[in-house]
Amino acid sequence: MEDLPDTPFEIDPATLTLDELVLGRGAWGVVRAGTLTRAGRPLPVAVKQLLDLSAHEERAQLRKEIRVLALASHRCTHVCQLLGTSVKDGRLCVVMPRYACSLAEELLRRPGRTLPEARGVALGLQMCRALVQLHAVPIVVQDLKPSNLLLDEHGGLVVADFGISTCLGNHSKYMPSQIKGTTNYMAPEAFDPEEFGGVGPPADIWSAGCCLLEMLDGKAPWEGERHQVVARKVCDKRMTPPLPPSLSKPIATLLAGSFQYLPSDRLTAAECVARLETIAAAHPLPQRTPLSKLIEAHARDVAARLALIAAPLRSAMTPAATPAAAPAATPAATPAAAPAATPAATPAASPSPPAPPAAFSRPATAEGGEASRRRRQTLKAAISEREAWLERRHSQQAADKTRRPAPSDPVVVEAAAVSSAPAGGEATADDSCIDIQPLVAMGFDQSECWAAFLQAGGDVRRAAALLCDR
């Protein structure tokens, strides 16, 4: 262990715990999930673990990656940060933060393996900003692909895996000892470094274009083709990855500038950032709803559904109003009291009006989605049913002006009685709207006011309290 480079990131092995979960494998070792304890708080980490410390070539390769990653972590914000190194169970470990998933895993979960253009542009913008910082060091990634782009739970993107990356120092290119990279994302100079005099930052621009194309097209360039076939197309025939016609013109122009055959003709990382910022401004990404808000909205949705189920049960269990209750509500001093007594002998001539719809509550959830559409349809149906009930009730009362029939639903008997009716006992649909005018004046929607008014059993104060609590 004495020949390992000293770094300021040494981690006490006692604070590092490795899990059985394997996040990835390679020829040199594995990446395991783990937990790093810092200041008494556990931090989920990913640990790149070298299986055999005695293998000189693997040790040299990992030592180089640690140096590049340490330099990138110090100078760049859009790369996977190096938390430190440690020796655990006789094996060298490189400790990094654990991210939610890779871009490749995110694409596999998507229908058609594609992202909406606004989301793809947002991730492409973060990727190119990382390249601006890395090329300023200067560091050439040389293996930029979706599996090496990590996403956090907030939608942020970082560049990871600097296993074959190179720090150029004072040079603009370097001559690799062997061909390195992943076939689908390799630039022409990566296939034939001698022909182009080496590999430099423009190779990462080609790879970044391939990643952006895969996000929007659903498949990697040259997918399913062998290495020799792709090399012949890219180098000998000077072919570029085909662009689907579904791409917007600004995106197609950006990709065409990234897939130029000569490295000097390609866009720089800074130029890609400027163009992507222009595209993103024209198509802004919708704001992501915090998880706590989604949980709260779901809880309100469940409560509203339970209320819809329970309302008919409460209505059925409530005892029906007796016929004597209706005349008792009419004061004896009113002039209309005498004629109102005559129809009492013939109650069968005027059937009771139909019961109003059950009380309901409108869930205050975020708009959009199938569930929200069904809730809006339920609300519209309830409002339509309420209006139809008012029309039927008005028609019945117009036919029987001498006596107001008792509503069969006790939940709304007060709602029908408190409205200001003319002296003859006639009530219209417009009269019944007087009940919710104080609620409408508070700034609530009329449909919400009716919902709360019915749920409160015709009590305006209770309805106002229900609306304010939402």
Question: Which residues fall in the annotated binding site for ATP?
Answer: 48
Alpha carbon 12 to its chain's center: 38
Task: Measure the CA angle with vertex 435, ends 430 and 440; round to 5°.
Answer: 95
The candidate with the shortest Cα–Cα distance to 267, out of 180, 207, 336, is 207
Q: Report the alpha-carbon distance of residue 456 to residue 468 in Å, rounded.
A: 13
User: Within its chain, how far is the Cα of 15 from the centroid?
Assistant: 34
Is residue 9 within 8 A of residue 83, CB to CB? The reply is yes
Q: Helix or strand or coil: residue 37?
A: strand
- Tell me if 165 sits within 8 A of 65, measured CB to CB: yes
DSSP output for 373-386: HHHHHHHHHHHHHH
Distances (CA, A) of 54 to 2, 58, 65, 386: 13, 9, 17, 81
Cβ-contact 357, 389 below 8 angstroms? yes
Q: How is residue 431 written in tokens?
A: 């009269």
Nearest 5 degrees, angle CA 22-CA 220-CA 166? 65
β-strand 91-97 against 101-102: which pairing, if any?
unpaired
| DSSP-derived secondary structure for 146-160 | GGGEEE-TTS-EEE-
Phi, psi of 2 (to 5 degrees): -70, -20
Binding residues: 48
H helices within 92-237, ranges in order? 103-109, 117-136, 188-191, 193-196, 202-217, 227-231
> What is the C-alpha R_g of the chain?
36
**In b/e form, how buried is each residue of 104-130, taking b as 16+ CB within 10 angstroms?**
bebbeeeeebbbebebbbbbbbbbbbb
List Cα–Cα distances, 454 to 356, 383, 440, 467, in angstroms. 9, 11, 14, 12
For 42, other C-beta atoms within 10 Å of its C-beta total 11
DSSP code of residue 457: T
Alpha carbon 430 to chain centroid distance?
44
- C-alpha closest to that of 246 among 66, 390, 115: 115
The C-alpha atoms of residue 140 and residue 78 are separated, in whole angstroms, by: 14
* Euclidean distance between CA atoms 321 and 349, whole angstroms: 18
